[in-house]
Amino acid sequence: MKTRKSKSFSGNFITYAMVIVAFLLCELALSGVIPGFKMSRSLKGQLVPICVYIVMAVSLNLTVGISGELSLGHAGFMSVGAFSGILVSQWLLSAFPETNLELVRLLAALATGGVVAAIAGVLIGIPVLRLRGDYLAIVTLAFGEIIRNLLNCVYFSFEGANLNFSFLDPNLPGNIVINGPMGAIGVKKLASFEAGFILVLFTLVVVLNLINSRSGRAIMAIRDNRIAAESVGINVTKYRMLAFVISAALAGMAGALYGLNYSTVQAAKFKFDTSILVLVFVVLGGIGNIRGSIIAATVLTILPEMLREFGNYRMLIYAIVLIVVMLVTNNPMLKSTLDSLKGKIFKKSVKEGDKA
């Protein structure tokens, strides 16, 4: 028992260390202190989206990997977070134009994004979690599409501290902030790489602690065998809901950060394709493997940009790379050699540990 605990502890330690080292390296490259070690504009521009997608992937992994529910509507929570976060941040700007509250606005936006997405998570979780397997998947997809469809009809505007809202009618007095299908417009950029890094750390603390807690073990027990878990007195609905809502809240915070990184964001961004993209990160990184999600989200966000040299063949090559990677990593022969290799290394370290 003790060794298992220490193993998960060291695993988590590696994950944190990896993220922090990567962050420091990026900061170093950004500062340009070391000659020759500089970051291209292209990569610099991707830092915040990478952080956002890491949070999205880790949070989806909580639903898909840890809780074992296939969700195809994760981008829906992201959109709810993005729009509510933008609304709060822009409202603060409109209500208190004199004061310079950038940090407050950012934090308020993240918190609101998280809370609103959590509420959406509860509302959606109640019906969704009654279902199982592919039926659950299609209902999450349906919710993602409904949210997107509704956001296309929503209009918000500000007059100082007053908030105006309308459904389907764009003629609102004051400064329009959320403009139906044109999305949020005139957003003041607040997101930064540092904020993204802190959000990633926050997500890791929440998710890793949850996994290693009593609740986390209950969630995984339900995933592995629902009926057995129920029979030993685990409240199935409560724990499934817990995982689902935390996952939604984190996606909402990621959405808020995403929304505040661009001057505009449209509901069309959060369609089914984006949910699928995040799912690809999770599966490629390894289902249930948090560190894998972080790496996969980073690599797969940068990859299409690296492929720009191929011009219009870019997405074709991206698709081929994806298929080949899936085939190679799931090849039984390769898997068994990898496993045996792992076994050897693991045995060695155990022996060394014995010696010490």
Residues 185-244 that bind other proteins (CB under 8 A): 185-186, 189, 225-228, 231
Q: According to CB under 8 A, which residues from 57 to 76 bind other proteins?
A: 64, 70
Please report whether residue 91 would count as binding other proteins according to CB under 8 A: no
Please report whether residue 330 would count as binding other proteins according to CB under 8 A: yes
Strand, coil or helix: what is 177? strand
DSSP letter for 34, please: S
Of the candidate residues 1, 34, 168, 356, the single one contacting other proteins (CB under 8 A): 168
Stretch that binds other proteins, among 35-43, 81-89, 232-240, 336-344 (CB under 8 A): 35-43
Please report whether residue 153 would count as binding other proteins according to CB under 8 A: yes
User: Apex CA 296: angle with CA 219 and CA 329, to 5°?
Assistant: 90
Please report whether residue 183 would count as binding other proteins according to CB under 8 A: yes
Please report whether residue 308 would count as binding other proteins according to CB under 8 A: yes
Query: Nearer Cβ to other proteins, position 215 or 264?
Result: 264
Q: How many residues contact other proteins, by CB under 8 A?
A: 77
Query: How many Å separate Cα 81 from the centre of its chain?
Result: 11
Stretch that binds other proteins, among 5-13, 90-98, 136-144, 242-250 (CB under 8 A): 136-144
Please report whether residue 27 would count as binding other proteins according to CB under 8 A: no
Output phi, psi for 173, to 5 deg.
-75, 155
Q: According to CB under 8 A, which residues from 257 to 276 bind other proteins?
A: 258, 262-269, 272, 276
Stretch that binds other proteins, among 74-82, 201-209, 213-221, 278-286 (CB under 8 A): 278-286
Specify burial of residue 204 (Cβ count, 10 A radius: 0-12, 13-18, 19+): buried
- Which residues on neighbouring strands pair with residue 167, listed in sequence order? 154
Task: Choose among 267, 93, 91, 297: nearest CA to 180.
Answer: 267
Task: Find the helix or strand (DSSP H, E) in which 2 lies.
Answer: helix 2-31
**Which tokens go with 355?**
């010696």
DSSP letter for 72, please: S
Q: According to CB under 8 A, which residues from 96 to 135 bind other proteins?
A: 127, 130-132, 134-135
DSSP letter for 180, please: G
